[in-house]
Amino acid sequence: QKEVEQDPGPLSVPEGAIVSLNCTYSNSAFQYFMWYRQYSRKGPELLMYTYSSGNKEDGRFTAQVDKSSKYISLFIRDSQPSDSATYLCAMSETGANNLFFGTGTRLTVIP
Amino acid sequence: KAGVTQTPRYLIKTRGQQVTLSCSPISGHRSVSWYQQTPGQGLQFLFEYFSETQRNKGNFPGRFSGRQFSNSRSEMNVSTLELGDSALYLCASSWAGGPYEQYFGPGTRLTVT
């Protein structure tokens, strides 16, 4: 079993929809939770990170972490065609730089 | 600031050969991490270098090695290439620590035939 599980999709939504992306994990030592966006032929770009449990909002993006359930989510409001990309969750233990990634969810926002 | 650069961007090699990939971190960044990305396994951590020392290593065979130079530039080497080594190899740099501070380069696409 992989330490981080992510539904690979693909996910296709109409423009303006709310998108929910999720990951589950098994390692209770994970404390840092990141969401990356990766466009085709590009490297991952950090969208948001959260330390421990809780919510964090940045514009149209909201990240949630539920450590009791070992479940994290990324919500995208008012989705735009430019949001079409692969979204990767990543996690790390405190004091460690090695990230554990989900396999990514490919999102397409249809105009 | 210029971003993380990786060279070459694309590479085709034959089984049994070896390959060296290069990564130039963002100016001032001292940590460089390498990842392998494949469709089946996603991104997997290879190793991290900080101030020319390997600080952490993932679960990859010894054919995968790396080093870091005094200017923080890093190279990774794969010897005796196998078909399964075909992947996108990404490097990420950060100033010192903090897993949330890593900035990724565009990657080197390696194809082994």
Q: Which residue stretches of chain A have pLDDT < 50? A: none
Counting every residue written for chain A, the total comes to 111
Say whether residue A98 is in contact with chain B using an 8 A CB cutoff.
yes
Higher pLDDT, A95 or B3: B3
Average pLDDT over residues B10-23: 98
Please report, as a single letter, which amino acid is at residue B107.
G
Q: Which residue of A has its CA nearest to B3?
A: A43
What distance in Å separates the CA atoms of residue A107 and residue A105, rounded to the nearest whole number? Answer: 6
Average pLDDT over residues B58-85: 97
Report the residue from B40, B94, B105 with minimal CB separation from A43.
B105
Going by the DSSP 8-state scheme, the letter that residue B27 receives in this structure is T
Is residue B29 scored above 70 in pLDDT? yes
Contact assignment for A43 to B31 by CB distance below 8 Å: no
Higher pLDDT, A14 or B100: A14
Say whether residue B48 is in contact with chain A using an 8 A CB cutoff.
yes
Is residue B98 scored above 70 in pLDDT? no
Contact assignment for B104 to A44 by CB distance below 8 Å: yes
B78: left (phi over 0), alpha (psi -120 to 50) or beta: beta
Contact assignment for B56 to A96 by CB distance below 8 Å: yes
Q: Using alpha carbons, list the distances in angstroms from residue B112 to A16, B60, B82, B85.
A: 42, 17, 7, 7
Residue B78 tokens read as 């794969």
Is residue B95 scored above 70 in pLDDT? yes
Contacting residues of B for A86, CB less than 8 Å apart: none
List helix spans (H) across chain B.
none
- Helix, strand, or coil here: B81? coil
Contact B32, B26 (CB under 8 A): no
The pLDDT confidence band at residue B96, using thresholds 50, 70 and 90, is confident
What distance in Å separates the CA atoms of residue A10 and residue B55, rounded to the nearest whole number? Answer: 36
Residue A40 C-alpha, separation from nearest chain B C-alpha, in angstroms: 10
Q: For all residues of chain B together, what is the average pLDDT?
A: 94
Residue A49 tokens read as 């990170």
Say whether residue A102 is in contact with chain B using an 8 A CB cutoff.
yes
Contact assignment for A88 to B42 by CB distance below 8 Å: yes
Say whether residue B44 is in contact with chain A using an 8 A CB cutoff.
yes
Place of tokens 């090699």: B13
Say whether residue B16 is in contact with chain A using an 8 A CB cutoff.
no
Going by the DSSP 8-state scheme, the letter that residue B59 receives in this structure is S
Please report, as a single letter, which amino acid is at residue A18.
I
Is residue B97 scored above 70 in pLDDT? no
Share of chain B above pLDDT 70, in %: 97
Neighbours of A57 (CB within 10 A): 12
Say whether residue B68 is in contact with chain A using an 8 A CB cutoff.
no
- Closest by CA to B107, choosing from A43, A20, A74, A79, is A43
Contacting residues of A for B90, CB less than 8 Å apart: 43-44
Report the residue from A45, A46, A98 with minimal CB separation from B33.
A98
- Per-residue burial over B24-47, b if 16 or more Cβ lie within 10 Å, else e, is bbbeebbbbbbbbbeeeebbbbbb
